[in-house]
Amino acid sequence: MAAYLIGSLDITDLADFAEYARQAPAVIARYGGRYVVRGGAAEMVEGEGPLHRQVVLEFPDMAALKTWYASPEYAPLLALRQRTARAKVIFVEGA
């Protein structure tokens, strides 16, 4: 069953975040992941709170998603993203 990372980011350092955005896709792909949503226009239709940059990643299954997130290849990029953006991130299994 496919698994998804759903994230909402508030970028605090756009210049350094650009390096994360440049490097992350190759590491994501190496673990079988792909972007479904990467930024783009968003419209809040229910709920509260400001809209931030949205991201949805799809992986073949939850094991692949968790393996990527904890991988040594992603670790320095995760640290970079955490320095340059505040984020809310969830993992969800889907159909």
Q: What is the average pLDDT across 55-64?
A: 98
Q: What is the average pLDDT across 35-57?
A: 89
pTM of the full structure: 0.92
CATH architecture under which domain 3-41+52-93 falls: 2-Layer Sandwich (3.30)
Q: Per-domain residue ranges for the chain?
A: 3-41+52-93
pLDDT (tens digit per residue) in 64-84 = 999 999 999 999 999 999 999
Q: pLDDT at residue 19 above 80?
A: yes
* The pLDDT of residue 50: 75
* DSSP states of 17-86: HHHHHHHHHHHHHHTT-EEEEES------SS-S---EEEEEEESSHHHHHHHHT-TTTHHHHHHHHHHEE
